[in-house]
Amino acid sequence: MKNKFEEIWIIKYNIASAYYEHNGNLEIPTSFKTLNGYEYDENGINLGMWIHDQRKLYKKAKLSPERINLLKAIGMRLETVNYNDWNENYALAQNYYEHHGNLEIPVKFKTLNGYEYDENGINLGIWIDHQRQSYKKAKLSPERINLLKAIGMRFKPRYNDGWNKNYAFAQDYYEHNGNLEIPQKFKTLNGYEYDENGINLGMWIHKQRKLYKKAKLSPERINLLESIGMKWFAYNNINYIDQNVIFDNNTQRLIKTQRLIKLKILNSFKLYLNSLDQNALPSKAEINQDFLDVLNYTHKKK
């Protein structure tokens, strides 16, 4: 039985070795499964959890010297990550910057390698926030300030007021999605990733449309929002024609507007009903069919 367990350990070790050869480390997310060591496979071995277990065994002094040496040979970090180790956390922040181009990290972001979320990792978002607080209190050394600035650290607030702050988030959303059609429940800390603790960007966009409708939005803000693709009138889903858009081949020219068409059709249909003999009114089904005919649509029975 012992040989059987030994064989299983060696198999997993070889897979870990393949991961190391491709990634240069063993900071593996605990949910990472694989069959070859470097590609995720839902049906594979949970390599991340196996690495996690080896660290736990090491901590309990239940890992043999031979296995310790084998794991160290492929870059294994056996000691538990020290949350107070500034240099180690900085290295993670550096990895995040290399992958994302900034240090605008969600406060709930945890990681083992700096760029992939891992529930068992360091809370890098909190660490970054602590650095800003230390800077504000003049408790961060010039050396560390320079190191953080070298990887794009922002120490001072990005915004002068609430509107500009939300606008900057909307700008980030537009750059990532190409539009501002944002769900009203969308909250964010960086403009493009959902975060329960973030600003409700979707509701803010909704409020800007309401202010525009009431002529309470300044021309300057209107121009700023339109420059990032703001559409002032959202599309509604209703059961009959709200907007009759006809596209002329390549020109795609809008030739009729929704409100005018709707009013004309409804008024015409009312006149039509009033002209009928009240004792010989058509059935509801016939009225519906006639209304559809007026709209020039073919009635499709469900």
* Model confidence pLDDT, tens digit, residues 181-207: 999 899 988 888 888 878 899 999 999
In sequence order, which ranges of the chain are alpha helices (DSSP H)?
A: 2-23, 47-59, 65-73, 86-100, 124-136, 142-150, 162-177, 201-213, 219-226, 258-274, 284-294
Q: Are 168 and 159 in contact (CB under 8 A)?
A: yes
Task: Give the whole-number percent of the chain exceeding pLDDT 70.
Answer: 73
Mean pLDDT along residues 110-116: 89
Q: Is residue 259 domain-shared with residue 214, that is, in the same domain? A: no
Give residue 54's identity as a one-letter amino acid code.
Q
Number of domains in the chain: 4
298 found inside a domain: yes
Domain limits at 196?
162-226
- Asked if residue 34 belongs to a domain, the reply is yes
Give the pLDDT of residue 233: 81
Does the structure show a pLDDT above 70 at 83? no
Last residue of a domain, one of 206, 226, 246: 226
Domain for residue 155, yes or no?
A: no
The 10s digit of each residue's pLDDT in 68-79 is 999 999 988 887
Last residue of a domain, one of 150, 173, 195: 150
Strands 199-200 and 187-188: antiparallel
What confidence score (pLDDT) does residue 241 get?
A: 34
Q: Are residues 275 and 300 in the same domain?
A: yes
Q: How far is CA 140 from CA 13, 114, 130, 143, in A?
A: 41, 22, 10, 8
Average pLDDT, the chain: 79
More confident residue, 13 or 166: 13
Inside any domain, residue 232 = no
168 with 216, same domain: the answer is yes
In the predicted structure, residue 272 carries a pLDDT above the cut 70: no
Pick the residue with more confidence: 272 or 135?
Answer: 135
User: Among the ranges 29-38, 122-131, 210-219, 236-245, which has the highest mean pLDDT value?
Assistant: 210-219
What mean pLDDT is predicted for residues 32-58?
A: 91
Banded model confidence at residue 97, pLDDT cuts 50, 70, 90 = very high
Any domain includes 79: no
Ramachandran angles phi, psi of 280, nearest 5°? -130, 35
Same domain, 138 and 185: no
Q: How confident is the model at residue 261 (pLDDT cuts 50, 70, 90)?
A: low
Please tell me the least confidently modeled range out of 44-53, 243-252, 260-269. 243-252
- Please identify, among 172, 195, 226, the residue that sits at the C-terminal boundary of a domain: 226
Q: Nearest Cα to 246, choosing from 234, 238, 258?
A: 258
Q: Answer yes or no: is 220 within a domain.
A: yes
Q: Residue 78 domain-assigned?
A: no
Please report whether residue 51 resides in a domain: yes
